[in-house]
Structure 1
Amino acid sequence: MNATKFAGVRAFSMTPTRLGSGTTDIALSQKLQEELKFEQEAAAETAAPDTTPEFLKSFLEQGVWSIEDVRGNDEVALTRKFGDENLRVVFSIADIAVEDEFEDPEAQPEEDDAETVLATPIRTSVSITKSTGPGALNIDLTAQDNAFTVENISFYDDAKVGTELTAEADWKRRGLYIGPSFETLDYTLQEEFQKYLAERGLNEIVASFIPEYAAYKEQQEYVKWLGKVKNFVDL
């Protein structure tokens, strides 16, 4: 039996690519830097860096509402006390991002930036609790064009169920009766609810502030996101 001869096997030399050093990294980093520079220059045109915008100064100087804004979070809360009541108004900058995503550039009206911000509807949730008794009144609103549109008013016997932002509270809220659609209520009852909310400071000032602040925060978070992603790609 003839011995079978095997051809010599060539030893391939492979240069390992270091993680974080792919062929597309440089191009991506450059594009991120371009976008970051553009956003920073655009922001500098409206306000000096590290300064409080005039609209925010004016709102805070009124001394009615406090702002709870955690960097990196997409939700913002306005809080205040009204007699024995505690009011908490929560809105998200996610509505700004969604609006931007589906905008048709060719369909944009020739308006200035302030008017465009005011035209962006921001969903808002208001919770009212009392120190004198149990329960929570929750109101779903939309802030747009310097006014609030009431969507729904619900009541929870347990204030924690109505106000806590936990998985357990969210689970308990599911399946509960949340009240009728606001527009189906008697018109005079709608008017009284609107007066009730206005008396507690949910007026045109807050309705115009919420979309403007949402746009302001979304811009800040976007710039920070660009910087963090670029730094990560560059590692």
Structure 2
Amino acid sequence: MSAIRAIRQVAVPLVARRTLCTATAVPRVGGMRVASLASSRVIASRGFMSSAKRFGEGSTDVTLSQKLQEELNYEKETGGSLEDVPQFLKDFKSHDVWTIEETPSHDEVTLSRKFGNESLRLIFSTGDVQQAEDEFNEDGEVAENEDDDTGSLYPLRASLTLTKPNVPGCLNLDLMIQDGSFVVDNISYYDDAKVGTELTAEADWKRRGLYIGPQFDTLDVAVQDEFDHFLQERGIDSSLGQFIPQYAEYKEQREYVNWLGKVKSFIDN
């Protein structure tokens, strides 16, 4: 979700909910209502049926379609064309180190690369995109980030796997990307590389119950430092830590615009 869209949502004033039906006074005789519950149901049913028939599909379809179009126009005007490649992405691809793999309508993104005889695969999700640089206070105002000079940075979870062709097992690291830095949560080793790398329900089931390794911050500080050097040498550094949140927001925005278009098309047809 773009920061602009989030601000718009906070800025919209609260509107009292509209009731779906309006109560009508019913005459009483001797303290009892004359109209029966059954008759009131018949009246309500007739009113709904005649309304639906008159509008063909639904009385709210046109209005909903118009609002979706307004939102779609706004996102395209403020976010630019989906065909435009942002500069940060051009710069990232120009280094020709990581390969980006992502599927439209899916929220996961995979970065992969080779390092010597190692294959690295890093997966993150656009579902974790959160507003970290612009936080909203209780009054709905936007609090400026005092030290924001590196662009949009959001805390994201990521999973990194390392495999070697001559080794049957693999390393798996659970990471958190925050403020442009990678924070290691834990490091797992799987004896079977397929169990550690396959994204299937069967592999996920096999991983359950296996020892996932100690919490990273409980390791000796010297060991933690060497692991940090190990990752930085393989490109898991601040440069990548700044790129991933930007790309997550970029993809989330594209998916949102596509979603608006698909929903509107469904309502219109």
* 1:64 counterpart residue number: 97
Q: Deviations over 1:167-215 (max 9, x none)?
A: 0000001111100111111111000111111111101111100000000
Note the 1:1-235 alignment, pairs <5 A: 17=53, 21-44=57-80, 50-96=83-129, 99=131, 104=136, 106=140, 108-111=142-145, 117-118=152-153, 120-235=154-269
Letter in 1 for 2:94: E
Question: Is 2:105–2:255's contact at 8 Å kept on the other side of the alignment?
Answer: yes
Structure with greater contact order relative to length (CA < 8 Å, sep ≥ 6)? 1
Single out whichever of 184-193 and 18-27 deviates more from structure 2.
18-27
Residues 64-93 of structure 1 show CA distances to partners (whole Å, capped at 9, x for unaligned) of 101001111100000001111100000000
Check whether the contact 1:20–1:234 (CA below 8 A) recurs between aligned residues.
no
68-77 or 213-222: which moved more?
Answer: 68-77
Normalization by structure 2: what TM-score? Answer: 0.75
Distance across 1 between alignment mates of 2:159 and 2:261: 31
Separation in structure 2 between the aligned mates of residue 25 and residue 141 of structure 1, nearest angstrom: 44
Question: What is the alpha-carbon distance in structure 2 between the residues aligned to residue 18 and residue 182 of structure 1?
Answer: 65
CA RMSD of aligned residues (A): 2.4
Q: Any conservation in 2 of the 1:20–1:233 contact (CA below 8 Å)?
A: no
Seq. identity, %: 55
User: TM-score, normalised to structure 1's length?
Assistant: 0.85
Equivalent-residue separation in structure 1 for 2:162 and 2:54 (angstroms):
55
Deviating 4+ runs (over 4 angstroms): 111-116
CA contact (8 A) 1:88 1:127 kept: yes
In the alignment of these two chains, the number of paired residues is: 217
**Deviation larger for 23-32 or 178-187:** 23-32
* CA distance, structure 1, for counterparts of residue 255 and residue 98 of structure 2: 22
> Contact (CA 8 Å) 1:135, 1:158: kept in 2 or not?
yes
**Whole-Å Cα distance in 2 between the matches of residues 132 and 230 of structure 1?**
52
Q: Describe the SS at the equivalent of 2:168.
A: strand
* C-alpha distance in structure 2 between counterparts of 1:49 and 1:178, whole Å: 40
Unaligned runs of 5+ in 1: 1-11
User: 3-state SS of the aligned residue for 1:117?
Assistant: coil
- What residue number does 2:26 align with? none
Counterpart CA distance in 2 for 1:194 and 1:18 is 67
Once residues 197 and 131 of structure 2 are traced to their aligned partners in structure 1, the CA distance between those partners, rounded to angstroms, is 27
Instruction: Note the C-alpha offset of 1:18.
Output: 8.9
Preserved CA contact (<8 Å) 2:82 2:254: no
Change (3 A) 1:173 1:25: same
- Counterpart amino acid of 2:191? D
Letter in structure 2 aligned against 1:70: T
1:117 is matched by which residue type in structure 2?
S
Q: 1:191 is matched by which residue type in structure 2?
A: D
SS at match of 2:143: coil
Report the 3-state secondary structure (helix = DSSP H, G, I; strand = E; otherwise coil) of the residue aligned with 1:223: helix
